[in-house]
Amino acid sequence: MTSGSAAPEHTALRAVTRPLDAPLGMPELLARADPTDPLVWIRGDRGAVGVGETLRLRFSGPGRFSRAAQAWRELSSAAEIDDPVRLPGSGLVAFGAFAFDDESEAASVLVVPRLLIARHRGTAWITEISRDGNPVPPSTAPSARRAGAAPAARLPVAAPDEAYLASVGKARGRIELGEAEKIVVARRVAGTVAADGDLRVPLGRLAERYDGCWTYAVDGILGASPETLVRRADGAISARVLAGTRARRLDDPAADARVRDELLTSSKEQHEHAFAVQSVVTALSPHVDGLRTSEEPFALGLPNVWHLATDLGALPGRESSLELAAALHPTAAVAGTPTSVAVSAIAELESFDRGRYAGPVGWIDADGDGEWVIALRCAELGPPAGGIRTITAYAGGGIVEGSDPAREFAETVSKFAPIVEAFAAAD
């Protein structure tokens, strides 16, 4: 099915941004978010929380990105923007989450909040976005919402998963036959949480523990991603490619350093990483100028895993951050190589719809600047029904020649850790 809501005709958005005096730390920012339907984007001393909704556009099918990008261009050019703050994320902003697969049942969305409370390092501001009328812009942030109970979920991520192991075996078989060089195989684990559980609790845990990652919540998908698909801001483009993973040994610093060195020197991991970097370079170079990459992969240490990482930088052309995200998606880090073979293999080998897992999640402003990460280390919350809602967590990894299914399974368990910890019962 292919569909999309174009920007409603004659929709003129009005965005008014005003600085806030009060410095907003991460907890104060998060406290303003909706407890059961949060709209959140936080990393370290930068972040934004959306409250309420002025506009929501839905898209699906292979044209979801181009229709969303076009709708946003139309809305932005018709908008009236009063923004004396002029920092990344001030003025008119939409948040988005896009399905991984062209055939996904999951909606891809752009959401324009009614209020946006944000900070960039030492500066905080509030933006009010309206469709009709000219409301007086608030100059104080709405007060914090009362904290509710933490939503605890039991996610049996270490329980045997025969279907996943079989898929990894089949992916390896196809690679050995020369059909593909790399296929990213994922699995999912489901549980339930109380429908009135306060999702700001897991988001706060993610933002605190994974402070080098983007903690996000958009339209029911939430997580903490280490992988920047593309950032367009301050006249520059940047991206971070990750591929190649080892579980950390935080209990034993010497063992942890050995694990890191082994990752850095493993030819299998370097090979897998090179595919992912090449796919990003190939997809990005027609759209930007002066693309350069960090010399050789470095080890990025997160609380749960080491990743091989490469940073990219370039100068922007005229494409918006969403158009660049569309050009990049799906990278070899989440699909494989060659892309089209890997995407069809995933559809055949995985027994579920990835939804927005491994798709782009992020935000865009009226100039097309914005930040899009790959929705990793995440869970999708279902709608409330009978006092509960489902929670489905996702994790995967790249299968290449010689990949060992049991090790790949263990790697997914490490990748589930952020979500398992975020939804653990308080002790």
Ligand X SMILES: C=C(O[C@@H]1C=C(C(=O)O)C=C[C@H]1O)C(=O)O
* Burial (0-12, 13-18, 19+ Cβ within 10 Å), 413: middle
Among all residues, which ones are annotated catalytic?
182, 227
Site mask for ligand X (CB under 6 A), range 131-170, x = bound = ----------------------------------------
Q: Any contact of residue 415 with ligand X (CB under 6 A)?
A: yes
When CB distances to ligand X are compared, the closest residue is 333
With binding defined as CB under 6 A, does residue 333 bind ligand X?
Answer: yes
- Residue 397 in contact with ligand X, rule: CB under 6 A: yes
Neighbours of 393 (CB within 10 A): 26
Q: Smaller CB distance to ligand X: residue 79 or 165?
A: 165
- Interface with ligand X, residue 355, by CB under 6 A: no
Q: Is 376 in the site for ligand X (CB under 6 A)?
A: yes
Instruction: Look up residue 202 and give its two tokens.
Output: 């897991």
Q: Does residue 307 bind ligand X (CB under 6 A)?
A: yes
**Is residue 227 a contact residue for ligand X (CB under 6 A)?**
yes
Q: Which of 141, 184, 206, 280 binds ligand X (CB under 6 A)?
A: 184
Judged by beta carbon, residue 14 or residue 354, the one nearer ligand X is 354
Binder to ligand X among 50, 359, 396, 418 (CB under 6 A)?
396
Look at the chain and count its residues: 427
Residue 379 interacting with ligand X (CB under 6 A): no
395 near ligand X (CB under 6 A): yes
Q: Does 242 bind ligand X (CB under 6 A)?
A: yes
* Residues 53-86 as b or e (16 or more Cβ within 10 Å = b): ebbebbbbeeebbebbbbbbbebbeebebebebe
d(CA 117, CA 127): 7
Q: How far apart are CA 7 and CA 1, in angstroms?
A: 19
Q: State the minimum distance, in angstroms, from the CB of residue 53 to ligand X.
A: 29
How many C-alpha atoms does 141 have within 13 Å on its Cβ side? 27
Closer Cβ to ligand X, 4 or 360, answer by number:
360
Q: Within 10 A of 19 (CB to CB), how many other CB atoms are there?
A: 13
The site for ligand X, by CB under 6 A, has a size of: 17
Q: How far apart are CA 374 and CA 97, in angstroms?
A: 10
Residue 360 bridge partners (DSSP): 374
Q: Which one of residues 31, 243, 277, 375 is an interface residue with ligand X (CB under 6 A)?
A: 243
In terms of CB distance, is 127 or 225 closer to ligand X? 225
DSSP-assigned states of every residue in 6-42: PPPTT---EEEEEEESS---HHHHHHTS-SSS-EEEE
If we measure between CA atoms, which residue out of 135, 187, 240 comes closest to residue 419?
A: 187
Q: Which is nearer to ligand X, 36 or 245 (CB)?
A: 245
Strands 370-374, 182-194: parallel, antiparallel or unpaired by DSSP?
A: unpaired
Closer residue to ligand X in complex, CB, 7/243: 243
Binding residue for ligand X (CB under 6 A) from 398, 403, 414, 423? 398
Classify residue 271 by burial, with Cβ atoms within 10 Å: 0-12, 13-18, 19+.
middle
Does the footprint of ligand X cover residue 244 (CB under 6 A)? yes
Exactly one of 76, 108, 245, 392 binds ligand X (CB under 6 A); that residue is 245
Q: Name the residue nearer to ligand X (CB basis): 70 or 270.
A: 270
Kindly report the backbone phi and psi dihedral angles of residue 177, in degrees, each rounded to the nearest multiple of 5, phi listed first: -80, -5
And the tokens for 370? Answer: 């914005």
> Smallest distance from the beta carbon of 242 to ligand X, in angstroms?
4
Segment contacting ligand X by CB under 6 A, of 13-21, 211-219, 236-244, 281-289: 236-244
Where does this chain bind ligand X (CB under 6 A)?
A: 184, 186, 227, 242-245, 307, 333-334, 376-377, 395-398, 415
